[in-house]
Amino acid sequence: MVGYSKHNQHYTDESLKVLIVEDEENIIQFLLPALERAGYEVETASDGESGFEKAKSAKFDLVLLDITLPKMEGTEVLKNLRDAGVNTPAIMLTGRTDTDDKLKSFEYGCDDYLTKPYRIEELKARIKAVIGRASERGSTPIALSELEMDPLRHRVTIKGENVHLTVREYNILEILLKNPGDAVEKDKIIQYAWEPDHAVAQNTLEVHINSLRKKIKKDDFLLLETVRGVGYLIRKGTLPGQE
């Protein structure tokens, strides 16, 4: 079953668009009417390859992504999307309970992870929270040196080339770019980059900072610095000959 569903008579041009990538028809028939009644415009894909192509080529506000899919697993779909610079918010829906699957999903950039079976009310609450966090980011592009962040496309480029960031790395970079040259406290970064109820150790933040630092190293004049006892800051470096 692939295509837009129009059973809901309350759609407007401003309807939020959700892509469901799921191969089990009974689950699609469970999710589709519930999301339509909630006011979302829904499109579906029944395998990983078609889900990847749809998510890559169209503008969606959210992707609901099963892990166990024909042709391409959900985690691979997610990784390929992030590698392609597509950072549409994604919630993984899976019957798997393996911790490694969950860790891999978050590493590849998912925004939330829900294990089947789940209540539709919980899923709708999580969808609302994830889309809400994404919309709060704003839409004005941010630039520093050769790095540009486009919140509408949720994409980061350096000298025009896409930079693959996990969701956490993107959020961390965003709050630092919004405060260029200023030290941002660690607690403030954690509150911005993770869900409010997500317990995060400061060494976890350090791991993400180190990974982010390596990825933006492509721009020799963009520095992500540690401010001891405070947090982190991002600033332009000094061009050769301008010391």
Residue 217 vs residue 178, higher pLDDT: 178
Pairing of strands 41-45, 17-21: parallel
- What domains can you pick out in the chain, each with its CATH number? 3-135 (3.40.50.2300), 142-236 (1.10.10.10)
Residue 189 vs residue 111, higher pLDDT: 189
> Which one, of 46, 55, 113, lies nearest residue 81 by Cα?
55
The pLDDT, as a whole number, for residue 152 is 64
The pLDDT, as a whole number, for residue 183 is 95
pLDDT at 139 over 80: no
Residues above pLDDT 70, as percent of the chain = 86
Mean pLDDT of the chain: 82
3-state secondary structure of 177: helix
The pLDDT, as a whole number, for residue 137 is 62
Average pLDDT, integer, range 27-53: 92
> What are the structure tokens assigned to 124, written together?
């709708």
Residue 221 vs residue 149, higher pLDDT: 149
- pLDDT band (50, 70, 90) for residue 153: low
| Cα separations in angstroms, 136 against 64, 131, 228, 236 | 20, 9, 29, 26
pLDDT at 202 over 80: no
pLDDT at 148 over 80: yes
Average pLDDT, integer, range 205-227: 87
pLDDT at 226 over 60: yes
The pLDDT, as a whole number, for residue 136 is 62
The pLDDT, as a whole number, for residue 196 is 60
Rounded distance between C-alpha atoms, residue 204 and residue 196, angstroms: 16
Rounded distance between C-alpha atoms, residue 20 and residue 29, angstroms: 11
pLDDT tens track for 123-133: 999 898 888 77
Question: Buried b / exposed e across 23-57, counting CB within 10 Å, b at 16+?
Answer: beeebbeebbeebbebebbbbbbbbbbbbbebbee
Question: Is residue 35 within 8 Å of residue 29, measured between CB atoms?
Answer: no
Angle between helices 202-215 and 186-193 (to 10 degrees): 80
Q: How many CA atoms does the CB half-sphere of 145 hold within 13 Å? A: 20
